[in-house]
Amino acid sequence: MKVRYQYRIYPTPQQVKGLNQLFGCCRVVYNDALAIVRSVPQGEKWPSNAELQKLVITQAKKTAEREWLADVSVVPLQQSVQDLGAAFKNFFESRSGKRKGPKVGFPRFKKKLNQQSARFVRTGFSLKGNKLELAKLGRFKVKWSRPLPSEPSSVTIIRNTAGQYHASFVVEIGPINIEPLRPSIGVDLGIKTFAFLSTGDRVESPGYNRLDRKTRRFQRKLARQVKGSKRRAKTRLRLAKLKLKTANIRKDFLHKTTTQLIHENQVVVLEDLAVKNMLGNRKLARAISEQGWGTARTMCEAKANMVNDREVRIISRWEPTSQICSDCGFRWGKVALSVRSILCVSCGTEHDRDGNAAKNIEKSGLGLTQDSK
């Protein structure tokens, strides 16, 4: 199985200049190839990846407008055209229904201020001791937070909007063997409490309120400043660092939580939440988006494939998990969100709303009846 291992790298000022030039060349090659495809008359055949590489790289280097493309390695330029081909493939598979998930739009031109990346295959990079050597760029200092499990097949150099540089390696790993502590568990995702488990445990999410207030303050400040000014550029960088800090806290929390769920349970049952529709509620949109429910589900499914004898099951969003007593199966119907504790009139058991839903989610995922007796 192929996975990514990402590390922070620290380029020198000269290497930063070379990386910025490389990112610009990759962006130009991608945009030139996309422009050629968009200019093809309707009904005519589009050029292949090999033909696009010949047009936007080989022949473009011979012109005065694009002769500076020869100053960087050709490997990431070729991969940039390959990325465009993958974007078109995802677009057509999404339209035909072969690709699952949300619809993928038509490829768009890359912008200079967004996250930049360049990918090197084995012919363009090598590992020299503790340093990473890239073609025409030299050796880079890498912060090895953990060892690579195998020889990498490619590396992607990334510059995020906060100005940080990372190296993302693609490596091959084998399945992991871990004995589960429990046969199954149901997970009810929430807002105030990130997850309520069918075991009765709660998983509290980290607080984002302080960072959120600072982010909104800098967003208002950025909106008032003159475009193109140095003060606006400084504010934009501080805002990007704040957003990156929030994203890193969320990613770290989700990784730890999903890893624990997969390692300790043989079957993890989740609800199929319509997160995109729920974000239409303007009163809850910010709180819902901060939790990262969709990312948590994706992580669980990916990590279940990495561990032997693990499974993630998704139940229908229409299952009445909050309307049924998990003890006797009596259905009391819809209850307002403000009601957090429910007393079953049939068996007399008092339930926490989320805890009862988590138990019903587990039963539905395992195909059991609601009446446990």
Active-site residue, 362 included: no
* 44 and 140 fall within a common domain: yes
Same domain? 89 vs 146: yes
Q: Which of 32, 188, 327, 362 is catalytic?
A: 188
Both 130 and 251 in one domain: the answer is no
Of the residues 172, 199, 231, the one at which a domain ends: 172
Residue 327: predicted pLDDT: 84
Quick: pLDDT tens for 297-308. 999 999 999 999
Task: Answer yes or no: do 160 and 192 share one domain.
Answer: no
What is the domain count for the chain? 2
- Which of 137, 156, 172 represents a domain boundary (last residue)? 172
Where among 172, 192, 222 does a domain terminate? 172
Q: Are residues 273 and 350 in the same domain?
A: yes
Among residues 236, 254, 263, the alpha carbon closest in space to that of 291 is found at 254
- Whether 111 and 143 share a structural domain: yes
* pLDDT, position 369: 58
The proportion of the chain whose per-residue pLDDT surpasses 70, expressed as a percent, equals 99
Whole-angstrom Cα Rg for the chain: 25
pLDDT at 234 over 80: yes
267 and 184 co-located in one domain: yes
pLDDT at 353: 87
Asked if residues 4 and 149 have their Cβ atoms less than 8 Å apart, the reply is no
Catalytic, out of 271, 290, 327, 362: 271
Instruction: Give the pairing type, strands 341-343 and 165-172.
Output: unpaired
Yes or no: say if 71 and 21 are a contact pair by the CB < 8 Å rule: yes
pLDDT at 362: 92
Let me know: does 60 contact 69? Beta carbons within 8 Å.
yes
Q: Answer for the pair 47, 81: CB distance below 8 angstroms, yes or no.
A: no
Q: Could you count the other beta carbons within 10 Å of the beta carbon of residue 362?
A: 26
Please check whether residues 239 and 139 belong to one and the same domain: no
Are 283 and 135 part of one and the same domain? Answer: no
311-315/125-128 β-pairing: unpaired
State mean pLDDT over 43-50: 91
pLDDT digits (tens, 9 = 90+) for 4-13: 999 999 999 9
| pLDDT of 371 higher than 60 | no
Confidence of residue 275 (pLDDT cuts 50, 70, 90): confident
Please report, rounded to a whole number, the percentage of residues in the chain having pLDDT higher than 90.
Answer: 75
Catalytic residue among 32, 83, 290, 354: 354
Instruction: Kindly report, residue by residue over 114-164, the tens digit of the pLDDT.
Output: 899 999 999 999 999 899 999 999 999 999 999 999 999 999 999 999 999
- Say whether both 243 and 301 belong to one domain: yes
Do residues 155 and 191 share a domain? no
Amino acid 284: pLDDT: 86
Write out the residue range of the structural domain in which residue 50 sits: 2-172
Per-residue pLDDT tens digits for 305-324: 999 999 999 999 888 888 88
- DSSP secondary structure, 56-85, as one string: IIITGGGSSSSGGGGGS-HHHHHHHHHHHH
DSSP assignment of 159-200 equals E-TTS-EEEEEEEE-PPB----SEEEEEEEE-SSSSEEETTS
Edge-to-edge order in the sheet of strand 138-143? 116-121, 154-159, 165-172, 2-10, 138-143, 131-134, 125-128
**274 and 184 belong to one structural domain:** yes
- How high does pLDDT run on average in the chain? 92
Q: How far apart are CA 356 and CA 325, in angstroms?
A: 7
pLDDT of 373: 46
User: What would the pLDDT profile of 193-232 be if each residue is shown by its tens digit?
Assistant: 999 999 989 999 998 999 999 999 999 999 999 999 999 9
8 A C-beta contact, residue 107 and residue 91: yes
Average confidence (pLDDT) over 14-40: 96
Q: Give the residue, 101 or 77, on which the prediction is more confident.
A: 77
0.95 exceeded by pTM: no
